[in-house]
């Protein structure tokens, strides 16, 4: 699961060709693959020997996003190519040099603090939609639309502050990470409530969704690919003044992933996440040895052999958990009229609220993993999903796949299965 060290990235601020003279689809000999907003024929992807570029600008009051490939010959002058420059207040442009690194939305996450205050104070709570260890989640009304409001009690102030801090990491915004709107504290006269306001997704969590519905092969691939895309963006470090640190989730599970109306995932609940400060090669808070949900803990977390000085260790633990989430999704896939009832991973091996010791015995001592049925081999997409799972579950974290590799494999599968993402 260990990523290659990334090449240096240049970035500046903005000047954008709205037409696309630079993004001819390149022959497959070029190594860099990028998202491409106007490359419909090639599944909205392009290949280049140069850079991936993302740009956001306003056109007639509407925010527009452009993602293209830029050829090496157009990266001039060296160090500050014209096509990678931004223009203050007009355009925000970003060039980068890793596969699909231009999937980012160039916006400052959330809203300015004074706007967040105003937002929270104009929300009308409608109904409670969930409870967790931190407090409650409500559906609220704001400007005629729905928002989700996570309400922490004042004794959970550290959790509230930490989650708000992570969500406001610059460049975190991504279509497969829950959209953060505001953080505020509200005094209801008796006690202080701490609010986190985010996008509302009526399907609820992936756990709820899979309990309620089986999924088609297309539905399975959409869920799996979008979850990998969100995790790849979370894990990815983008260098430069407009960059973002690598972030590891540390509590990835089906209850912490939301399902959007379009059948795609949004990763949520970043309260236990850690950020990597690459300049000092440190982690931004002192991480506890074992946090998260016991059922989804990687073997190295259960037996306390994880190297907490090494940020990649946390990314590898996330990948193990993603493999378990994939197993939950694939079991509910309706292929040839067969699908199984929803179950949590290890449902047949541990009790409903397992202890660390019970999980350790199964995962570390007996080296057991969830069952991948033989009949999945009869369907290419289930075969691929099963192979990915196994490669997420290796006892050795460093041998596991990366989120970016999983994203590429599933992108390829979605093209083969002719799935419109």
Residue ranges of the alpha helices (H) in 256-310?
A: 299-302
Residue ranges of the alpha helices (H) in 236-310?
A: 299-302
Packed helices 380-392 and 311-331: angle between N→C axes, nearest 10 degrees: 150
* Lateral strand order in the sheet of 124-131: 124-131, 135-142, 145-152, 192-199, 180-187
Q: In angstroms, what is the C-alpha Rg of the chain?
A: 22
Catalytic amino acids? 251
What is the sign, positive or negative, of the torsion defined by CA atoms of 297, 300, 302, 307? negative
Looking at 192-294, which runs of residues are DSSP E strands? 192-199, 247-248, 257-259, 265-267, 274-277, 282-283
Looking at 88-241, which runs of residues are DSSP E strands? 91-96, 124-131, 135-142, 145-152, 180-187, 192-199
Say whether 222 counts as a known binding-site residue: no
What is the C-alpha to C-alpha distance for residues 383 and 268, in angstroms, rounded to an integer? 28
Contact 389, 328 (CB under 8 A): no
**What SS3 class is residue 257?**
strand
For the annotated binding site, the residues are: 150
For the annotated binding site for ATP, the residues are: 150
């Amino acid at each position: 699961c260990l990523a290659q060290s990334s090449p240096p990235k240049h970035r500046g601020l903005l000047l954008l060709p709205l037409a696309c003279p630079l993004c001819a689809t390149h022959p497959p000999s070029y190594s860099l693959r990028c998202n491409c907003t106007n490359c419909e024929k090639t599944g909205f992807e392009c290949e280049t020997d140069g850079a991936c570029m993302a740009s956001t600008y306003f056109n007639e009051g509407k925010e527009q996003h452009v993602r293209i490939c830029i050829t090496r010959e157009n990266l001039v002058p060296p160090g500050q190519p014209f096509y990678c420059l931004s223009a203050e207040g007009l355009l925000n442009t970003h060039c980068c040099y890793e596969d699909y690194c231009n999937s980012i939305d160039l916006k400052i996450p959330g809203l300015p603090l004074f706007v967040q205050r105003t937002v929270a104070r104009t929300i009308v709570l409608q109904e409670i939609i969930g409870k967790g260890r931190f407090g409650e989640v409500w559906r609220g009304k704001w400007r005629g639309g729905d928002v989700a409001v996570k309400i922490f009690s004042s004794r959970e102030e550290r959790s509230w502050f930490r989650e708000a801090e992570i969500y406001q990491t610059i460049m975190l915004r991504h279509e497969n990470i829950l959209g953060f709107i505001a953080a505020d504290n509200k005094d209801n006269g008796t006690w202080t409530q701490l609010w986190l306001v985010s996008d509302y997704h009526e399907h609820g969590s992936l756990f709820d969704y899979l309990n309620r519905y089986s999924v088609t092969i297309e539905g399975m691939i959409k869920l799996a690919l979008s979850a990998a895309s969100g995790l790849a963006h979370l894990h990815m470090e983008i260098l430069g003044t407009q960059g973002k640190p690598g972030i590891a989730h540390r509590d990835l599970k089906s209850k912490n992933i939301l399902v959007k109306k379009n059948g795609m995932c949004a990763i949520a609940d970043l309260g236990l996440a850690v950020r990597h400060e690459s300049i000092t090669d440190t982690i931004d808070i002192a991480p506890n040895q074992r946090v998260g949900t016991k059922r989804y803990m990687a073997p190295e977390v259960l037996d306390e052999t994880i190297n907490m000085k090494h940020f990649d260790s946390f990314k590898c633990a996330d990948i193990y958990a993603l493999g378990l989430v994939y197993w939950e999704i694939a079991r509910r896939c309706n292929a040839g009229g067969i699908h199984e009832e929803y179950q949590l991973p290890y449902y047949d091996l541990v009790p409903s609220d397992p202890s660390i010791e019970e999980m350790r015995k199964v995962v570390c001592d007996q080296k057991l993993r969830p069952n991948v049925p033989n009949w999945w081999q009869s369907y290419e997409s289930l075969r691929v999903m099963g192979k990915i799972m196994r490669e997420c579950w290796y006892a050795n974290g460093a041998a596991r796949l990366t989120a970016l590799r999983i994203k590429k494999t599933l992108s390829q599968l979605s093209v083969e299965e002719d799935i419109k993402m």
